[in-house]
Amino acid sequence: MRFHTRKWIKPQDLNPNGTLFGGRVLEWIDEECALYSIIQLENPKTVTKYMSEINFQNSAKKGDIIEIGIEVLKFGTTSIQLRCEVRNKMTRSSIISIEKIIMVTLDENGKPKPHGKTKVEFVKDRLNDKS
């Protein structure tokens, strides 16, 4: 799993208990999965279709640095299946994991559209292929 994005827990990210608000971390995960899928599948019209059960394993507190990791489990025809884990950057303790997230690419009519991708690609290789 590659950890792409780091976040710093700020006062506005806390729940009344003084720990990381679950809704905030889910927003970060959704955005991270959308961006990752848009880049992999090369289609900005990519939406979240499904998320499996969400397991909040540990909390985080103000000032903690966390990181968001994504792994591709499967390339489908119109979908990509991801796994996501958020962990404390310094202690590596797991905060939340979602075992199955399905993102779907759409056509101009909002219908699932085949993306033609079968493996993880890196932007630097795409750029090298063009030069």
Ligand X SMILES: CCCCCCCCCCCCCCCC(=O)SCCNC(=O)CCNC(=O)[C@H](O)C(C)(C)COP(=O)(O)OP(=O)(O)OC[C@H]1O[C@@H](n2cnc3c(N)ncnc32)[C@H](O)[C@@H]1OP(=O)(O)O
The residues binding ligand X (CB under 6 A) are 30-31, 34-35, 38, 44, 47-50, 76-79, 102, 104, 106, 110, 112
CB of 68 to ligand X, least distance (A): 13
H/E stretch holding 91 reads none
CB of 98 to ligand X, least distance (A): 13
Q: What is the largest CA-CA distance in the chain?
A: 53
CB of 84 to ligand X, least distance (A): 13
Query: How many Cβ atoms are within 10 Å of 130's Cβ, its own excluded?
Result: 6
Beta carbon nearer to ligand X, 79 or 88: 79
Distance of CA 106 to the CA centre of its chain: 18
H/E stretch holding 111 reads none
Beta carbon nearer to ligand X, 108 or 129: 108
Beta carbon nearer to ligand X, 92 or 111: 111
Task: Read off the DSSP letter of residue 103.
Answer: E
